[in-house]
């Protein structure tokens, strides 16, 4: 049975119904692969024959799942937002916009084989900074004003990457995890700043992971969130825990790149940070960076969710005057 | 960091790229540039335009806090020559400066004495240059030290030797308790401060000059110095004294001591050119441990392996050669980033995401429980809210966890229960007269137990109907895990049975930021139409931007009482619309 031929058939599928037909054809109880299994007893080398068939089965399953993701993503990004969620909850109560955004993102990553992870909010300096390649007195610490519980050892996590450093020591590669989380910064609360923010982070560690995987996956995420026409550029950006670092910027939705008040006349809006996990970070976690590589990226969710709901004050989001129209 | 196009051309005479393209390229190679302003050309009177860029230089690139570092990057990107000013040759002198360095925090110092100079107000070009960089003009000598700092990224300082003498000592603060800076700020010092003094006077901090030896227009003799210190010491001093200067911003980062002779040469040359005078000493150069460029083994295939695209090995080797040594480049991965950023991140395709891979699900089961509970609460008619994890009043002062440095003085305790926050939320809703609020939150609570910091997930909910509240709490909860308080309930989730999986249900409900009170008015209507028809009629008649909710409060035969809530408008407007819609005028 030719895997390339099967791959072609799968790639030609534009809907889940077509994919289901292919699944039944090859993987169904009476499918072609199962029929092959019946020949195992007469094969010259039954063990090798069985292994080949199992491998073929796994590969076909993965190809179908990948195509399913592509089909669903293209559906999600090509339909108007209201039409997307045809399986929505009955309109009785309402989920917070942050939860809605987190679920949207979780779904993108779940379909790529990611687990959803979490971690404590009270963390040690070691996991919040040192294991992310930020030793004491490193100027990068100024990028994140911390709220300490017991200075200098215990603090409220300042970034989603803190969960990454905990994840890397507790799990062996291959790793695929995403984590929506709250992070804390010692900032004055006002209309546009808060001491608690919502972040979304994803981490992958495996053999052969590249920047192409990172940028392609981020782009898929942005297209799912913002629609197929979103323009995102990926540029060099420094973060101590990654190298090379990658900064995704979205072309300003207000001025389309010309420059305006919204984008501070840059034409672009910074969307978060990412990059290839720094070899020192992998080594500190006991993962051999000569064997494994990985990527990590994180982005804030508050501003996106606020923009989606025309909310102008970040305090509204947290214990403020946020409400939902009944039956909508 | 500001960057003026024409001054960048001093290092890159062949630079002719359009300003917008330059801005985009700077961004792509890692120097975030918000915008640029167009101004009249600064150099000469030939007319034309100049451009001022506003850059955000990242902490690893201290070298780019000067034009020279940025020019070096751009010379590689555009493959154009990087040109340095003509070398100034110091005349011979028999006089050796009696400078001492008594601390290991000094990496390199160069100094020279210049005598018989004539200081004055600065020429216009220099004043304008500094103004565009946000620095006040003082006099020519001081302004030139700042100019060189911006051009080369290395701070430097001039001492009026009539006040300071030549006996400068770099040392950790030996005994001074107070220091007055150039702008007359008084600082209280301890012994951890790196200073430049003479045997009897405190003269300068490592990153801020002092009043005691300030340069004035009457200064005739000066010792100018350029130094790089242990960046951690400067950073700690700057933070401790709560003093941030253009010099501290640079000195707390890794700067290249090998650049000092080049920058110092430019400084001495400019002083002689603009202030006259002559060199009055030998060059003092303290550099006890010259920086050795690390030996890095570089595999030219690695940039292709890391990026996932084909980057020719010849290109990789060429870039590595051109970049040379830089303080932030210490290992192979640093070189890989250099190669990829000059090759172009934009050459990496954006349409090839990771493919699905089946891996064991390591999602903590409590996450599935949380998601299921959220769905249950929404299905039961509750709205989700999020409240602040830091609160002003502890629920139990004995076990509360307190933050040490929260700048929001009203939020210093980690919440021990969600209920007080939900009570505050209810107060908010009552203030806005929200009809029938019913809401929940799932979040962390925190407390101390036997010296350990404990975090647990909790669900809290509010229902103004206590019977319904009891009905709506999850039913499989033991009494010790549930707490009722008025019309609120709270459940600790960590001890509940958890599901093995969860299938998410997307939701697209729209949230609204209440800005005015919701106005609820009644209307009595007599009609033979059905309930549905009437509701539909009035719903379509009232502008959806002000209609919050419409319901039938009472119905008897053909008599209806409608309950209508309006938002986004004041009391008067709501009444006017209400009377018109229900023909009550």
Domains and CATH numbers, chain B: 2-78 (3.30.56.10), 100-286 (3.50.40.10), 302-345 (no CATH), 365-492 (3.30.930.10), 519-581 (3.30.70)
Q: Quick check: A270 and B511 CB within 8 A?
A: no
Q: What does the pLDDT read at residue A74?
A: 54
- B242 φ, ψ to 5°? 50, 45
The arithmetic mean of pLDDT across residues B133-148, rounded, is: 97
Question: According to the model, what pLDDT value does residue B43 have?
Answer: 60
Packing angle of the helix pair B67-78, B19-28 (nearest 10 deg) = 90
Residue located via tokens 């806005």 = B432
Q: What percent of chain B has pLDDT over 90?
A: 83
B428: chain A residues, CB-CB within 8 Å = 319-321
Average pLDDT over residues B370-382: 93
| Band of pLDDT at residue B308, cut at 50, 70 and 90 | very high
- List pLDDT tens digits, range B420-448: 999 999 999 999 999 989 999 999 999 99
Question: What is the SS3 string spanning A149-189?
Answer: EECCCEEECCCCHHHHHHHHHHCCCCEEEEEEEEEECCCCC
From the list A139, A219, A234, which residue is nearest B253 (CB)? A139
pLDDT at position A85 is 32
pLDDT for residue B474 is more than 90: no
Q: Is B516 exposed, middle or buried (0-12, 13-18, 19+ CB in 10 A)?
A: middle
Structure-block tokens of residue A204: 């992958």
Secondary structure in 3-state letters for B549-584: EEEEEEEECCEEEEEEEECCCCHHHHHHHHHHHCCC
Between CA B308 and CA B33 the distance in angstroms is 27
Residue A294 three-state SS:
strand
pTM of the predicted model as reported, rounded to 2 decimal places: 0.85
CB spacing of B59 vs A143 below 8 angstroms: yes
In chain B, the residue whose alpha carbon lies closest to the alpha carbon of A237 is B30
pLDDT at A260: 82
Binned at pLDDT 50, 70 and 90, residue B42 comes out as low
Contact flag B381-A93 (C-beta cutoff 8 Å): yes
Q: Summarize the confidence of residues B112-123 as an average pLDDT.
A: 97
The alpha-carbon radius of gyration of chain B (Å, integer) is 35
Give mean pLDDT, residues B356-383.
Answer: 94
- A97: closest chain B residue by CA: B511
Q: What is the per-residue pLDDT for A201? A: 96
Residue-wise pLDDT tens for chain A (328 aa)? 777 788 788 877 777 677 878 888 888 877 888 888 878 878 888 888 888 888 888 888 878 877 776 665 554 444 333 333 333 344 489 999 999 999 999 999 999 999 999 999 999 999 999 999 998 877 777 766 899 998 889 999 999 999 999 999 999 999 999 999 999 998 888 887 889 999 999 999 999 999 999 999 999 999 988 888 999 999 999 999 999 999 999 998 888 888 887 787 888 888 899 999 999 999 999 999 999 999 999 999 998 888 888 888 888 888 788 999 887 7
pLDDT value, residue B585: 58
Q: Which of B239, B200, B235, B212 is nearest to B105 (CA)?
A: B235
Q: How far is A243 from chain B (nearest CA, A)?
A: 7
* Average pLDDT over every residue of B113-130: 96
Task: Give dist(CA A249, CA A237) in Å, integer.
Answer: 11
Average confidence (pLDDT) over B381-397:
95
Give percent of chain B with pLDDT exceeding 70: 98
Q: Residue for token digits 């309402």? A: A94
pLDDT digit string (tens) for B143-189?
999 999 999 999 999 999 999 999 999 999 999 999 999 999 999 99
Map residue B363 onto helix, strand or coil.
coil
Q: Return the structure tokens found at B285.
A: 């150069």
Q: Do A66 and B305 touch (CB under 8 A)?
A: no
Please name which of A250, A164, A155, A163 lies closest in space to residue A195, comparing C-alpha atoms. Answer: A155
**Coil, strand, or helix at residue B210?**
strand
Residue A249: what pLDDT? Answer: 94
Cβ-count burial of A26 within 10 angstroms (0-12 exposed, 13-18 middle, 19+ buried)? Answer: buried
Q: Considering only A84-98, B309-323, B537-551, which range has the smallest mean pLDDT?
A: A84-98
Chain B: closest CA distance from residue A70 (Å): 10
Q: Are B247 and B148 in contact (CB under 8 A)?
A: no
Strand partners, B549: B565
Q: What is the mean pLDDT of residues B251-256?
A: 94
Written as six digits, the tokens of B317 are 């080797």
Whether B507 has a pLDDT exceeding 80, the answer reads: no
Q: What pLDDT does residue B336 have?
A: 98
Q: Do the Cβ atoms of A129 and A141 come closer than 8 Å?
A: yes
| Superfamily for domain range A97-317 | Bira Bifunctional Protein; Domain 2 (3.30.930.10)
Q: How far is A67 from chain B (nearest CA, A)?
A: 9
Give the range with max mean pLDDT: A182-186, B44-48, B473-477: A182-186
Contacts of A188 in chain B (CB under 8 A): 407-408
d(CA B555, CA B573): 27
Distance CA B444, CA B582 (A): 48
Contact between chains at A244 and B511 (C-beta distance less than 8 A): no
By the 8 A CB rule, do A274 and A214 touch? yes
Partners of B41 in the beta sheet? none
Among A90, A238, A239, most B C-beta atoms within 10 A, so best to mutate, is A238
Interface test with B, best of A321, A327, A328 (most B CBs within 10 A): A321
For A264, which residue in chain B has the nearest alpha carbon?
A: B34
The contacts of residue A45 (CB under 8 Å, 6+ apart) are none
The region of weakest confidence among A306-320, B52-66, B302-316, B401-415 is: A306-320
């Amino acid at each position: 049975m030719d895997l390339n031929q099967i791959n072609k058939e799968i790639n030609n599928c534009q809907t889940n119904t077509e994919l289901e037909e292919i699944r039944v054809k090859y993987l169904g109880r009476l499918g072609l692969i199962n029929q092959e299994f019946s020949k195992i007893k007469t094969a010259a080398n039954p063990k090798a024959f069985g292994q080949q068939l199992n491998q073929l089965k796994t590969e076909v399953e993965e190809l179908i799942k990948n195509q399913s993701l592509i089909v669903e993503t293209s559906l999600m990004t090509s339909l108007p937002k209201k039409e997307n969620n045809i399986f929505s909850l009955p309109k009785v109560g309402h989920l917070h916009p942050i939860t809605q955004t987190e679920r949207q993102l979780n779904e993108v990553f779940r379909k790529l084989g990611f687990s959803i992870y979490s971690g404590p909010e009270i963390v040690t300096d070691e996991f919040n900074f040192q294991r992310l390649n930020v030793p004491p007195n490193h100027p990068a610490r100024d990028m994140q004003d911390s709220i300490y519980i017991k200075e200098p050892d215990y603090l409220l996590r300042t970034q989603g990457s803190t969960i990454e450093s905990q994840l890397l020591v507790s799990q062996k590669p291959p790793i695929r995890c995403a984590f929506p989380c709250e992070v804390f910064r010692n900032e004055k609360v006002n209309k546009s700043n808060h001491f608690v923010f919502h972040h979304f982070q994803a981490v992958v560690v495996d053999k052969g992971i590249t920047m192409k995987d990172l940028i392609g996956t981020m782009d898929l995420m942005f297209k799912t969130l913002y629609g197929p026409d979103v323009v995102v550029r990926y540029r060099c950006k420094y973060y101590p825990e990654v190298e090379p670092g990658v900064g995704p910027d979205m072309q300003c939705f207000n001025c389309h790149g010309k420059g305006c008040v919204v984008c501070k006349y840059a034409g672009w809006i910074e969307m978060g940070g990412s990059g290839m996990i720094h070899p020192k970070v992998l080594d500190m976690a006991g993962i051999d960076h000569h064997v494994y590589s990985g990527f990590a990226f994180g982005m804030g969710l508050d501003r996106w969710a606020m923009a989606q709901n025309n909310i102008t004050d970040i305090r509204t989001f947290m214990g403020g005057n946020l409400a939902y129209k009944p039956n909508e | 960091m500001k960057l003026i196009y024409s001054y960048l051309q001093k290092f890159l005479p062949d630079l002719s790229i359009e300003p917008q393209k330059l801005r985009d390229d700077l961004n792509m190679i890692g120097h975030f540039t918000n915008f640029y302003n167009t101004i009249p050309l600064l150099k000469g009177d030939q007319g034309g335009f100049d451009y001022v860029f506003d850059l955000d230089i990242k902490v690893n690139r201290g070298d780019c806090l000067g034009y020279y570092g940025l020019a070096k990057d751009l010379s590689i990107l555009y493959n154009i020559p990087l040109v340095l000013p003509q070398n100034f040759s110091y005349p011979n002198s028999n006089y050796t400066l009696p400078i001492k360095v008594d601390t290991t925090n000094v990496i390199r110092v160069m100094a020279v004495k210049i005598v018989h100079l004539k200081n004055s107000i600065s020429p216009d070009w220099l004043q304008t240059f500094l103004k565009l960089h946000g620095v006040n003009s003082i006099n020519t000598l001081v302004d030139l030290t700042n100019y060189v700092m911006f051009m080369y990224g290395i701070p430097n300082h001039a001492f009026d030797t009539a006040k300071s003498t030549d006996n400068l000592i770099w040392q950790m603060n030996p005994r001074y308790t107070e220091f007055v800076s150039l702008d007359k700020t008084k600082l209280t010092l301890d012994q951890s401060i790196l200073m430049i003094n003479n045997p009897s006077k405190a003269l300068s901090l490592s990153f801020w000059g002092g009043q005691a030896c300030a340069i004035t227009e009457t200064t005739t003799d000066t010792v100018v110095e350029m130094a790089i210190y242990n960046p951690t010491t400067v950073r700690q001093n700057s933070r401790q004294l709560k003093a941030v200067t253009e010099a501290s911003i640079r000195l707390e980062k890794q700067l290249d001591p090998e650049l000092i002779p080049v920058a110092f040469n430019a400084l001495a040359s400019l002083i002689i050119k603009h202030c006259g005078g002559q060199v009055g000493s030998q060059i003092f150069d303290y550099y006890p441990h010259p920086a050795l460029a690390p030996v890095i083994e570089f595999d030219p295939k690695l940039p292709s392996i890391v990026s996932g695209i084909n980057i020719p090995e010849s290109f990789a080797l060429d870039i590595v050669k051109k970049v040379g040594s830089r303080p932030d480049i210490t290992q192979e991965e640093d070189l890989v980033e250099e190669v990829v950023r000059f090759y172009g991140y934009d050459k990496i395709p954006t349409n090839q995401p990771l493919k699905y891979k089946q891996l064991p699900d390591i999602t903590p089961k409590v996450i599935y429980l949380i998601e299921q509970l959220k769905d249950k609460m929404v299905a039961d008619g509750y709205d989700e809210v999020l409240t602040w994890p830091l609160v002003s009043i502890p629920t139990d002062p004995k076990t509360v966890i307190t933050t040490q440095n929260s700048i929001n003085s009203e939020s210093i305790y980690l919440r021990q229960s969600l209920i007080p926050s939900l009570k505050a939320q209810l107060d908010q809703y009552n203030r806005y007269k929200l009809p029938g609020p019913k809401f929940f939150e799932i979040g962390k609570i925190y407390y101390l137990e036997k010296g350990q910091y404990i975090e647990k997930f909790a669900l809290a909910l509010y229902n103004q109907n206590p019977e319904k509240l009891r009905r709506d709490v999850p039913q499989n909860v033991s009494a010790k895990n549930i707490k009722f308080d008025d019309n609120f309930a709270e459940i600790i989730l960590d001890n509940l049975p958890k599901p093995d999986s969860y299938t998410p249900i997307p939701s697209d409900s729209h949230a609204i930021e209440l800005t005015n009170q919701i106005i609820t008015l009644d209307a009595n209507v007599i009609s033979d139409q059905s309930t549905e028809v009437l509701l539909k009629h009035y719903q379509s008649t009232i502008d959806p931007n002000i209609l919050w909710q419409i319901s039938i409060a009472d119905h008897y035969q053909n008599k209806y009482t409608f309950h209508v809530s309006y938002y986004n408008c004041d009391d008067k407007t709501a009444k006017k619309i209400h009377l018109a819609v229900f023909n009550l005028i």
